[in-house]
Amino acid sequence: MPGNETVLVVEDQAEVREYAAVALGAYGYRVIEAASAEEALLRFEQERERIDLVLTDVVMPNISGRELADRLEKLQPGMKVLFMSGYAAGIIARHGVPEKGMELIEKPFLPEQLAIKVREVLGGGGADQATVLVAEDSAPVRKLLAEILREAGYAVVEACDGVETLERLAEGHVQLALMDAGMPRQGGFDAARETRRQFPEVKIILMSAAFDGVDAWDPVALGVDGLLSKPMAPKVLLDTVQGLLASRRLG
């Protein structure tokens, strides 16, 4: 999910444009901002380095995102384009963007959702870079685990409870779910069972302070692939995640 490519963000709403720019910048992308299609064309002409991807709103004044993409394609053939919109599919279609075969992210989106989609469109991050869901109701613990995994090169999606866990899994991309056993709103055990039922291809790790002395617990009996005792050393976390993802690929 991280990258070092250049992304041109074109959005007439300043708060949305800045949100997308900050999100992509946090994942290592070089970002150029434009408040309109006209400004985007000007910035493109001024830019000395290649622009790898254009992230553009579909509906904009004067020149639509589709028209902008067509013009930029003539200037730089093969340019990657990702459309974003909060409008219904019918409105999008009326602005010249086909409903099938296009690359589109719906607004509003989370930073990690945008980063995953951008990486997917650009290519080069798919099969080799796994996405891990960190489901933990304690924000400090969740952020720490996410940071450890990101520094190790994984893409990370976060959830704060069991319900949000299943919502994030339904969005796709996730290969492994790291869940706290004691989450609110459909706890880790229930969320793990539902994950196994709905998303059997996803590897599941349950974590809890109660798993101290992991040998006394059987992950198979709990319907998961691994158990981790909290707190855990970063190496233990990374070794467990790496091992399960490797077995997933082999399987």
CATH at 104 = 3.40.50.2300
**Residue 159 pLDDT greater than 90, yes or no:** yes
Question: Does a structural domain hold residue 236?
Answer: yes
Based on the domain organization, do 30 and 84 belong to the same domain? Answer: yes
Supply 6's token pair: 């250049």
Cis ω for the linkage preceding 184 (within 30 of 0): no
Q: Other CB atoms closer than 10 Å to residue 223's CB: what's the count?
A: 14
Q: Are residues 136 and 244 in the same domain?
A: yes
Same domain, 154 and 192: yes
The DSSP H or E segment spanning 121 is helix 111-122
pLDDT band at 4 (very low <50, low <70, confident <90, very high): confident
Cα radius of gyration rounded to whole Å, the chain: 20
Q: Look at residues 81, 103, 122 and tell me which one is the last residue of a structural domain.
A: 122
Q: What is the mean pLDDT of residues 161-184?
A: 91
pLDDT at 87: 63
Q: Which of 8-22, 185-199, 210-224 has the highest mean pLDDT?
A: 8-22
Residues 206 and 227: their CA atoms lie apart, in Å, by 5
Which 8-state DSSP code applies to residue 212?
S
Q: What confidence tier does 46 reach under pLDDT thresholds 50, 70, 90? A: confident
Examine residue 177 and state whether it is found in any structural domain, yes or no.
yes
Whether 40 is in a domain gets the answer: yes
Measured on CA atoms in the order 178, 204, 133, 151, is the torsion positive or negative?
positive
User: 122, 152, 172: which is the final residue of a domain?
Assistant: 122
Q: Please identify, among 70, 101, 122, the residue that sits at the C-terminal boundary of a domain.
A: 122
Q: What is the residue whose two structure tokens read 């589709």? A: 66
The answer as to whether 101 is a domain residue is yes
- Tell me, yes or no, whether 34 lies in a domain: yes
Task: Give the tens place of pLDDT for each residue, 82-130.
Answer: 999 876 454 555 555 544 457 889 888 988 889 888 988 887 544 346 8
User: If you average pLDDT over every residue of the chain, what do you get?
Assistant: 85
Q: With respect to residue 1, please indicate whether it lies within any of the assigned structural domains.
A: no
Domain total of the chain: 2
Residue 86: which domain range?
A: 6-122
For residue 60, being part of any structural domain is answered with yes
Parallel/antiparallel/unpaired status of strands 203-208 and 226-229: parallel
Closest to 78 (Cα-Cα) out of 69, 88, 66, 90: 69
88 lies in the same domain as 155: no
